[in-house]
A and B are shown apart, each in its own frame.
Chain A
Amino acid sequence: MANLPGGKPQDRQSGLRYPTNGKTIYHRPLNRTKTAELSQASFAYLFSEMVSYAQRRVTGIQDLEKRLNTQGHPLGLKLLDLLLIREPPRSQLRPLNIIALLHLIKINLWTHLFGRQADRLEKSSNPDTPDEYMIVDNEPLVNAYISVPREMSQLNCAAYVAGIIEGVCDGAGFPARVTAHSVGGKEEGEMWPGKTVFLVKFEGEVLERESLIVGKG
């Protein structure tokens, strides 16, 4: 034990050492290039294989979307922790209400994953479904090169991103079901053919708690 390199006496007393500027390895991306970007082509090939893999032995389109969702879920759980630790120390709290959570997803998560913010955030205008929120992305990066065949027209491969969002919501203590829906071509003309809406449907207890918080505040 005494021969271990770097085992100075003061290290043993203080335990974990922090660099003086407070930046740990979690604050920096592993990719040390200037822009910290990855090749979109290699991601496209990887994602294409992920979809093909998920497509094996599925019973239907819903099953396929569920598989993609499951692939994204653990990523969301981990990203929540990572994104919060990279926030400045004052705002390192996890989001406490729905709006703060959705803003974290729209701004921080999207910027981290795709290099830009999501295009829009909406609350369902239907009074019967107050638990539904929508995150709109005009051209999801994961679908950049994907054309879904006509016989599978309900499928949207951004179900993977929906899984990531679901992971973030679950991790933050807001259990939700998130699904991806294509809406391009129907409304607003052909401007954004790949337009996708991520429908976030929170569980009942989340809304219950939310109403209590708002009532007190």
Chain B
Amino acid sequence: MLSTRIKLELFGCLAAELKRTFSYRQPEKRPDGRDDDEIAKMTVFALIIINKAGGLIYNKTFHEGGLNKINTNDLLVLAGTFHGVHAITARLNPLKTSGDRTSTASASGMLSRPEPPTGLEVLESENFRLQCFTTMTGVKFLLFTDTTQANVDVTIRRIYDLYADYVMKNPFYQLEMPVRCDMFDRKLLSYVREINNR
């Protein structure tokens, strides 16, 4: 059991990391009179994929100017820190009560496994929103979007589909290793471009 101090430290760490990495750029007036805020409406900024050991296996920025650029080392730290915080928040999450379980068991006639605790799902700042989707095997998809972006869970599901198709069905991809698949890149880019241009 981790002590409260360590937990707090981890949270502080994540917050500091996020603040350092994605401090928002001041919107500048553009020649056509629109400012960056208007353009940033409905955008997917970036995607990060974290493997089940907490290692960063994929990162991609789709929209230049939405978030500040950070170096790979910081991204690796972010991935590891998020992984740790996610694991602890999953333990904070209380399990469903057993009375609830028996009622479903009697309804379906068989014992059902309780839902696994999900942990941290959404993290919102003034300028962006981070949605996390954890697969059954523990791979995490983190999607950075604009705060007004709707249907992020649909988007993230679709990205998971693409991952299942173009990464997992590729004989040259080694599990838990960084994703380097041209086909995945291509399909992902065209999908996100479609959303960002909507």
Q: Which of B158-186 contact A (CB under 8 A)?
A: 165-166, 169-172, 180-184, 186
Give A193 to B185 CA distance when docked, in angstroms.
Answer: 13
Closest chain A residue to B172, Cβ basis: A149
| A2 contacts partner chain B, Cβ-Cβ < 8 Å | no
Which residues of chain B have C-beta atoms less than 8 A from A55's C-beta? 171
How many residues on the B side are at the interface (Cβ–Cβ under 8 A)? 12
How many residues on the A side are at the interface (Cβ–Cβ under 8 A)? 18
Give A84 to B31 CA distance when docked, in angstroms.
Answer: 69
| A146 contacts partner chain B, Cβ-Cβ < 8 Å | yes
| A48 contacts partner chain B, Cβ-Cβ < 8 Å | yes
Give A144 to B91 CA distance when docked, in angstroms.
Answer: 40
Task: Give min CB distance, A116 to chain B, whole Å.
Answer: 20
| A45 contacts partner chain B, Cβ-Cβ < 8 Å | yes
A49 touches B169 (CB 8 A): no
A193 touches B172 (CB 8 A): no
**Could you tell me the dominant secondary structure of chain A's interface residues?**
helix
A145 touches B170 (CB 8 A): yes
A51 touches B171 (CB 8 A): yes
B169 touches A147 (CB 8 A): no
> Which of A147, A150, A157 is the one whose CB lies under 8 Å from B183?
A147
Closest chain A residue to B166, Cβ basis: A145
Give A110 to B64 CA distance when docked, in angstroms.
Answer: 44
Which residues of chain B have C-beta atoms less than 8 A from A44's C-beta? 165, 169
| A52 contacts partner chain B, Cβ-Cβ < 8 Å | yes
> Which of B169, B172, B181, B184 is the one whose CB lies under 8 Å from A152?
B172
B170 touches A48 (CB 8 A): yes
Give A55 to B171 CA distance when docked, in angstroms.
Answer: 9
Task: Give min CB distance, B58 to chain A, whole Å.
Answer: 13
5 A–B contact pairs at CB < 8 A? A45-B169, A145-B166, A145-B169, A146-B172, A147-B182
Q: What is the interface of chain A, defined by CB distance below 8 A to chain B?
A: 41, 44-45, 47-49, 51-52, 55, 145-150, 152, 157, 193
